[in-house]
Chain A
Amino acid sequence: MEVLAVVMLAVFTVGYLVLAGADIGVGMLLPVLGRDQAERRVVLAAIGPFFLGNEVWLVAAAGVTAGAFPGLEHHLLEGLFPLFAVLLPAWVVRDMGLWLRGRVDAAVWRGGCDAAIVAGSWALALAWGALLGSMLVGGGEAGLNAGSVLGLPLALLFAVHGAGFARLRSAGAVLERARRFPARYGVSAVALVGVALAAGSRLPWSQVVSSGTGLAATAVMTAVLLPLLLAAQALVWWTFRGRVDSPSYL
């Protein structure tokens, strides 16, 4: 049961890093990919339909952690409190920038939202880099360590991953700019999976796992529902598979 729960948590965490990693990366590169506010809106249209469905992977990962590995929640969140205290506000600021940008028709408002998206995406990527680095170096001992700094270059991996995504989704001038990056979505995705699994393998799973009914209910329910969740996501990927050259709701 413990193995099943670890696999489920790995699926959601890796799913988040690969899928949301791309929209975080696009947010980081927003000023580079889109030269003016109108172009930036088209850049955002590339991630628009996806970012909401991408971040739910992390929410589900947090849920599986709470249900199956309550000790890990304690271990990571309390041990790496300062990193989460950066990660969460960054997430909120970035999301609000995305949601609200198209709601007021004024250059100042759009500029402010663009700044929120870019700053939030960078802070989010740096926090993830530091988080993964701390786990890689610290392993069983959660806390800030040398890895917290060594992990910072990982943020660039998110940016490259975002460029790879933009190469698949955008068109015209935005696509030309994305092509200047030596980026391939598949390659950066594999790299993100590798980092996540390496960091995960260092955690003291047997010390943090739940037991009995609580663990079984969480692990089995998640495994049973996983195909349905994947189908829901596949419907989104299929619907918005084309390249974008015009603004969307955001």
Chain B
Amino acid sequence: MDDPLMLARLQFALTAGSHFLFVALTLGLATLVAWTQTRATLSGSAVHARMTRFWGQLYVINYAVGIVTGLVMEFQFGMNWGGMSSLVGQVFGAPLAMETVVAFFVESTFLGLWIFGWGRLNRWLHLALIWVVTLTAYMSAFFILVANGWMQRPVGYEMRDGVAHLTDLGALLTNPTAVLAFFHVGFGGLLTAGLFMAGVSAYHLFRRTAEVDFFRRSMRVGLVTMAAAVFPVVVFGGMQFAYVQPTKQAGTAEAVAAEAGFAARFGPGDYQAPGLAAAGEAVMTLVWSLLFLLAVAALVKVPFGRWLVRGRIFHVVVMAAVPLPYVAMLSGWVFREVGRQPWVVYGVLTTDEALSDVRPGLIAGSFVVFTGLFAVLIVVNGWLLARYARRGPDGARLGAAPPSDGAVPAALTPTF
């Protein structure tokens, strides 16, 4: 634990890993909330309006924790990985800039408007807001995966005086390790959110809720989303194997050749990916198989609404399966990122060289602070999600009329 490189890596892994947990649900749930609000706005049906508020409430709780972990991550690049910004920052920084300016700025601004503008804005404008939020959330994911895809498979750059310069923006943006990963993660998010929605609905149906119509509809949306996403996830995941780094799978002829090549160029060292990467791959594949079986069972049941309401064993299975996409996501991510070691940018910059020239005590101190903080955030987020999920539709505060004490609200007085 006194190795600053290991601490810095672990800190980034914990930050990115916890951020990723929230993002997966946020991406998928935003889509499902936008879809539900569209149905509510088009048909004017009360049940869809209530569904929008209930699932929107869970989405907003989750988003708030996702955003703060993301903020910390953006700054950690510069704090702990100073070598990265000086050597490859001219390439790596471009997609990060695009993410904030093209996507995140509008996403967050409009999300605030969506939350606080409930009941104040024209309903079509309000609907447009959630779609813009959803679209920009996906754009955000795309640009981040462009940055990450470049770390896996650097393209469109040249080295001049030991510093990487961007030469081909198009190659950077169409890098297969970015584009395929985007669809893989996007469908993974839908799978996560679909199963989350189905699991929460199953809980209420299992408890013989009075809100049968509400949760039967929600369960159907969740299961159909999950079943529709499960196959694209594996297709876009599998396509990425064509671009997987040779050293990720130890012992193959390509791996041995690549390790010898690195040793010749960068000096002797251990260029083999840690065994943890292969473990991540195995867990991801296993969990996906379970999800596939569940998707088949769901497809059989979905056409029969009464079966969804009554199948108590199925309710338990669906509830138990809610964590599975998270396990698959995290282990797939371990496979991708740990399998890149010892490189930050594959074949260009090692993690050791990228580490900031900061006193080890500072890195250790910030590790303790941020790890403690994130542990609290994850627990609070999980607890609040469970609490609001359990309360059901009437507990949603999002979009609720403000609690009035009988006082008539004052007329709007423009101030700026």
Check A103–B85 contact: CB distance below 8 A: no
For A93, what are the chain B residues with a Cβ–Cβ distance below 8 Å? 373
A70-B109 contact, Cβ under 8 Å, with A77-B78, A217-B166: no
Q: Which of B110-118, B181-189, B294-302, B318-326 contacts A (4 or more CB under 8 A)?
A: B110-118
Nearest B-chain residue to A168, judged by Cβ? B415
- For the complex formed, measure the closest distance between the CB of A250 and the CB atoms of chain B, giving whole angstroms: 9
Q: Which of A52-60, A122-130, A133-141, A193-201 contacts B (4 or more CB under 8 A)?
A: A52-60
User: How many residues on chain B are close to A (CB under 8 Å)?
Assistant: 75
Contact with B along A53-90 (1 / 0, CB 8 A): 10111011011111110110110111001101100110
Check A52–B77 contact: CB distance below 8 A: no
Check B370–A242 contact: CB distance below 8 A: no
Q: Which bracket fits the contact residues of A? A: 35 or more
In the complex, chain A residues 203-238 whose Cβ is within 8 Å of any chain B Cβ: 210-215, 217-218, 221-222, 225, 228-229, 232-233, 235-237
Contact with A along B130-147 (1 / 0, CB 8 A): 000000000000000000
**Which one of A56, A76, A89, A103 lies within 8 Å of B61 (CB-CB)?**
A103
Check A245–B75 contact: CB distance below 8 A: no
How many residue pairs bridge A and B at CB < 8 Å? 237
Confirm or deny: B268 has a beta carbon within 8 angstroms of a beta carbon on chain A: no
5 A-B pairs besides A214-B166, A239-B120 with CB distance below 8 A are A89-B369, A91-B71, A92-B71, A103-B397, A221-B101
Confirm or deny: A102 has a beta carbon within 8 angstroms of a beta carbon on chain B: yes
Check B93–A95 contact: CB distance below 8 A: no
A225-B102 contact, Cβ under 8 Å, with A73-B85, A88-B71, A92-B68: yes
For A88, what are the chain B residues with a Cβ–Cβ distance below 8 Å? 71-72, 75, 370
Query: Which of B93, B120, B366 lies at the interface centre, i.e. has the most chain A CB atoms within 10 A of its CB?
Result: B93
Q: Which 10 A-B pairs have the closest CB atoms?
A: A70-B89, A67-B97, A63-B100, A77-B78, A242-B412, A66-B93, A49-B116, A52-B112, A99-B64, A214-B166
Expressed in whole angstroms, the Cα–Cα distance for A96 and B71 within the complex equals 13
Check B96–A66 contact: CB distance below 8 A: yes
In the complex, chain B residues 133-189 whose Cβ is within 8 Å of any chain A Cβ: 165-169
Check A67–B413 contact: CB distance below 8 A: no
- For the complex formed, measure the closest distance between the CB of B319 and the CB atoms of chain A, giving whole angstroms: 23
Expressed in whole angstroms, the Cα–Cα distance for A229 and B103 within the complex equals 10
- The DSSP consensus for interface residues of chain B is helix
Q: Which of B203-211, B237-245, B402-410 contacts A (4 or more CB under 8 A)?
A: B402-410
Expressed in whole angstroms, the Cα–Cα distance for A153 and B398 within the complex equals 39
A236-B101 contact, Cβ under 8 Å, with A92-B68, A218-B93: no
Check B109–A232 contact: CB distance below 8 A: yes
For B290, what are the chain A residues with a Cβ–Cβ distance below 8 Å? none
Confirm or deny: A171 has a beta carbon within 8 angstroms of a beta carbon on chain B: yes
Check A52–B108 contact: CB distance below 8 A: yes
